[in-house]
Amino acid sequence: MTVHAKRIADSTVRRLSMYLRYLEDLDQEGQTTASSDALAQLSGTTPAQVRKDLSFFGSFGKRGLGYPVHELTTRLREILGLAQSWRVIIIGAGKIGSALAEYRGFRQRGFTVVGVYDNSPEKIGRAWGDATVRDIAALATDVRTLAVDIAVLAIPADDAQHVVDDLVAAGVRAILNFAPSQVHVPTHVAVKHVNMAMELEGLSFALTNRGD
Amino acid sequence: MTVHAKRIADSTVRRLSMYLRYLEDLDQEGQTTASSDALAQLSGTTPAQVRKDLSFFGSFGKRGLGYPVHELTTRLREILGLAQSWRVIIIGAGKIGSALAEYRGFRQRGFTVVGVYDNSPEKIGRAWGDATVRDIAALATDVRTLAVDIAVLAIPADDAQHVVDDLVAAGVRAILNFAPSQVHVPTHVAVKHVNMAMELEGLSFALTNRGD
């Protein structure tokens, strides 16, 4: 089944990810059904929201019996594109890139790091986990030969747009951007930003304006 | 001025952070005014959205003349709570914690790391940038003596809720959670989650459902 990604809000996709996590736990514990109440409580939302989110993707389960845990887990994995594996490259062999490359959660969910890139002569050629850091100049060729699905950017803000343009030209269609800058891409390319300074600013805003 | 944080959506606060970045750049370049069109284009939104976002916080600038760059920069820094400095501790002296501690963007925006904690005997007591890794057992006391504003969690998911409960009991009112799990807090505590696996799942969803 293909749904139209544009129509599904990012916040819905995030909740689906969260439901999946809890359902996997329940599945491992041998539970066979889960109520929308239980899913709502575990993921900090309302039962009505759970039902609405899941109704986007067809009907699951029977009224009054709750959702069938194993079946819903499988379906959510399909919906989120986790039934297959994705080939990921990391650009920027610094601390953040390194933390990402070793993050067990990625491999567990089917994201395989197939290459690491940097432009620093000191880093190029060095062993890096199972990989060797490659020259960022090889990116355009490698994206094709390695059949890269997703590129993770962990580089300074000033370099980001330039590297993104190269990635898009080479055919990358999904980018996770840790660089503290917006990047512009054509509409067929998906981008997610993780900006740690902005998250902290969200907290300083809350601390400043908590109205007490 | 205090605004009621609850009424302002997270997405609005993120856009304010983004406007601030561009205004700071413009200010450095010596530009004195900025149009809502320019701000919208730079931050990937619409001029109407820019005007709406900024109107929450009073009226800026004069119709037809654009926003006064320097004045608006100062006001946005106040609104976002960046006119003061915030005391941050990092819990978990692993790769992510380390990347965060050295992230220049934090210090530039007034977030000062005043302590780093871990529960591993191998890490406790080791030098870590300008700091020394301290025993997580000292957390409750330190939060008070160091007057901690914000705690950053970079620890495994299983430990997260337990540490959060201790932090909240010790008086921390803002938490940035990198642990891949939801945590529950009382309503007076602000929490932001950064879940890197979930961001990647958002991309795999987009790749799977792009409808082509």
pLDDT greater at residue A4 or residue B30: B30
| Contact in structure between B67 and B39 (CB atoms under 8 Å) | yes
Listing DSSP states for B151-206 in one string gives EEE-S-HHHHHHHHHHHHHHT--EEEE-SSS-----TTSEEEE--HHHHHHHHHHH
CATH 3.40.50.80 describes domain A86-198: no
Query: Which pair of tokens denotes residue B146?
Result: 């160091």
Query: Which pair of tokens denotes residue B8?
Result: 């302002």
**Mean pLDDT estimate for chain A:** 86
Least confident of A55-64, A112-121, A124-133, A168-177: A55-64
Q: Which of A 56-115 lie inside 8 A of B, CB atoms?
A: 79-82, 84, 86, 88, 94-96, 98-100, 102-103, 105-106, 109-111
Confidence class of residue B61 from pLDDT cuts 50, 70 and 90?
A: low
Confidence class of residue A121 from pLDDT cuts 50, 70 and 90?
A: very high
Count H helices, E strands: chain A? Answer: 9, 9
Please compute, for residue A58, the number of CA atoms within 13 A of its CA located in the half-sphere on the CB side: 11
Nearest residue to B110 via CA among A200, A35, A173, A187? A200
* Residue numbers in B near A6 (CB within 8 A): 211
Least confident of A121-125, B2-6, B118-122: B2-6
Give the residue from chain A lying closest to B2, CA to CA.
Answer: A209
| Contact in structure between B175 and B89 (CB atoms under 8 Å) | no
Q: Residue B63: what pLDDT?
A: 67
| Contact in structure between B82 and A201 (CB atoms under 8 Å) | yes
Q: Which of B194, B201, B207 sits opposite A173 (nearest CB)?
A: B207
pLDDT greater at residue B164 or residue A3: B164
Average pLDDT over residues B120-135: 89
**Interchain contact, B206 vs A5, CB within 8 Å:** yes
Cα–Cα distance measured from residue B179 to residue B90, given in angstroms and rounded to the nearest whole number: 12
Least confident of A176-180, B49-53, B159-163, B207-211: B207-211
Chain B: closest CA distance from residue A181 (Å): 9
Which CATH code, of 2.60.40.1930, 1.10.10.10, 1.10.3720.10, 2.30.140.10, is assigned to B5-79?
1.10.10.10
Q: What is the pLDDT of residues B188-199, one digit of tens each?
A: 999 988 877 888
**Interchain contact, A80 vs B201, CB within 8 Å:** yes
Residue A184 has pLDDT above 70, yes or no: yes
**Interchain contact, A43 vs B95, CB within 8 Å:** no
Q: Residue A211: what pLDDT?
A: 53
SS3 A59: coil
Interacting residues of B169 by C-beta distance below 8 A, sequence separation 6+: B140
Confidence class of residue A86 from pLDDT cuts 50, 70 and 90?
A: very high
A59: left (phi over 0), alpha (psi -120 to 50) or beta: beta
* Residue numbers in B near A42 (CB within 8 A): 182
Q: Which of A 29-48 lie inside 8 A of B, CB atoms?
A: 42-44
Q: Residue B107: what pLDDT?
A: 77
Q: Which of B 122-141 lie inside 8 A of A, CB atoms?
A: none
Give the residue from chain B lying closest to A17, CA to CA.
Answer: B198
As a whole-number percent, the residues of chain A with pLDDT over 70 amount to 92
As a whole-number percent, the residues of chain B with pLDDT over 70 amount to 92
| Contact in structure between A128 and A92 (CB atoms under 8 Å) | no
Average pLDDT over residues A158-169: 92
Q: What is the pLDDT of residues B135-148, one digit of tens each?
A: 999 999 999 999 99
Q: Residue B135: what pLDDT?
A: 96
DSSP state at residue A181: S
Q: Which of B176, B184, B202 sits opposite A10 (nearest CB)?
A: B202
Cα torsion B172, B175, A155, B77: sign: negative
The model scores a pTM over 0.80 = no
Ordered by start, the domain boundaries in chain B are 5-79, 86-198
**Interchain contact, A80 vs B10, CB within 8 Å:** no
Q: Which of A 145-164 lie inside 8 A of B, CB atoms?
A: 149-150
Q: Does B211 touch chain A (CB under 8 A)?
A: yes
| Contact in structure between A206 and B5 (CB atoms under 8 Å) | yes
* Residues constituting chain A: 212
Nearest residue to B43 via CA among A163, A4, A97, A198? A198
| Contact in structure between B154 and B179 (CB atoms under 8 Å) | yes
Could you identify the residue written with the tokens 């990391």? A90
SS3 A128: strand
- Measured CA to CA in angstroms, residue A93 lies from A102, A121, A172, A207, B200 at distances of 12, 12, 19, 34, 19
Q: Which of A103, A173, A198 sits opposite B17 (nearest CB)?
A: A198
Looking at residue B148, its amino acid is: V
Q: Which of B82, B84, B212 sits opposite A201 (nearest CB)?
A: B82
Listing DSSP states for B19-50 in one string gives HHHHHHHHHHTT--EE-HHHHHHHHTS-HHHH
Q: Does B180 touch chain A (CB under 8 A)?
A: yes
Using CB atoms within 10 Å of the CB of residue A19, give its burial: 0 to 12 exposed, 13 to 18 middle, 19+ buried.
buried
